[in-house]
Amino acid sequence: MKEALFWQVEGQKVRCLLCPHNCLISEGKVGKCKVRFNKDGKLFSQAYGNLCALALDPIEKKPLYHFLPGTKTLSIAHEGCNLQCKNCQNFNISQKLSSNIVAELWPEQLVKLALNKKIPSISFTYTEPTVFYEYVLETAKISHLYGIKNILVSNGYIMPQALQQLSAFLDAVNIDVKAFENEVYKQLTGAQLQPVLDTILYLVEQHIHVELTYLMVPGFSDNIEQIHAFLEWLLRHSLNHIPIHFSRFFPTYELEKLQPTPLEHIQNAYFEAQKMGMKYVYQGNVRLMDNATYCPRCKNILISRKDFYEVNYRGIKNGKCNSCSYNIYGVF
């Protein structure tokens, strides 16, 4: 248990100011995230050091294709999430708290573990890092002192003040864009789209490495109109260099009766993004497809990939195409 940041007292309740839900929490109750609670008129977090997941992952699994490709990352999570996605793949730890603790590690212990294993980065992932904000912040401060990179895999649903304080210690972020119509966003997640877009723009402005995942849920977020709107928004904000991962949905949680995303829809989004001028586009959760990184100028293969475990630098050196010297977005 840790006293939380970003809250204020309102009468006999406390108002959480961490994410745009701004939950007003009564004594003994929790917010929408299920981990931040009011105790004696103060806001506390139950998510501090009691990890529900701890693993070594290929960094490509986050997915991050342009940040330290081919390396491992130390991935951790606490239970809880501030969204209620009907299609959540990790609902057993994000939506249904079970106190299934796999490790108890203070921030300095986690950093020491990464150092001992010679892992170049720590990823806060699987659930939603925003809800274990205090742990992320303290860990990120310590890890930077030792040259370890900090990665956030997030829904981007966070208030500006909290994001600003954390951003000084972030190196890379993958934001999950759940849909591109606000009503669909609310239907799928219980949240709003605009705060997520604001988060993306702020991270880019701070020169933090950003990649975006767009999960194509049949009947919700896979129609070409939303894909167009998403791509047009990126182009309007001069973000055609940001890598996009169009990811295939598989039946799960409250949408277990849906069919998987048709492969044709994934491919249509992939080719449409390329046609509209996006430089780095990938297909996720799809086997036997080409997920190499190509030079936007000369189409030289820069990095080839087979699944997450065979990543080969073929045509990139010092962040440039070795054929035409084009600067490639990323950290290599």
- CA–CA distance, 318 with 325 (Å, rounded to integer): 10
Could you report how far apart the first and last alpha carbons of the chain are, in Å? 38
pLDDT given at position 287: 82
Q: What are the distances in angstroms from CA 95 to CA 126, 127, 168, 195, 241? A: 12, 9, 29, 21, 34
pLDDT per residue of the chain (332 residues) written in tens, 0 to 9: 999 999 999 999 999 999 999 999 999 999 999 999 999 999 999 999 999 999 999 999 999 999 999 999 999 999 999 999 999 989 989 987 777 899 999 999 999 999 999 999 999 999 999 999 999 999 999 999 999 999 999 999 999 999 999 999 999 999 999 999 999 999 999 999 999 999 999 999 999 999 999 999 999 999 999 999 999 999 999 999 999 999 999 999 999 999 999 999 999 999 999 999 999 999 999 986 679 999 999 999 999 998 888 899 999 999 999 999 999 999 99
Residue limits of CATH 3.20.20.70 in the chain? 50-290
- CA–CA distance, 55 with 53 (Å, rounded to integer): 7
How many beta carbons lie within 10 A of that of residue 230, not counting itself? Answer: 22
- CA–CA distance, 168 with 277 (Å, rounded to integer): 31
pLDDT given at position 234: 99
Q: List CB contacts of 189: < 8 A, sequence separation 6 or more.
A: 83, 84, 85, 86, 155, 178
H/E element, 27: none
Q: Are 82 and 61 in contact (CB under 8 A)?
A: no
pTM (2 decimals)? 0.97
pLDDT given at position 96: 75
pLDDT given at position 200: 99
Tokens standing for 25? 């929490």
Q: List CB contacts of 264: < 8 A, sequence separation 6 or more.
A: none
- CA–CA distance, 328 with 279 (Å, rounded to integer): 10
Which CATH topology does 50-290 take? TIM Barrel (3.20.20)
Beta-strand runs (E) in 81-142: 103-104, 121-124
- CA–CA distance, 232 with 198 (Å, rounded to integer): 16
Find the angle CA(8)-CA(11)-CA(17) to the nearest 5 degrees: 25
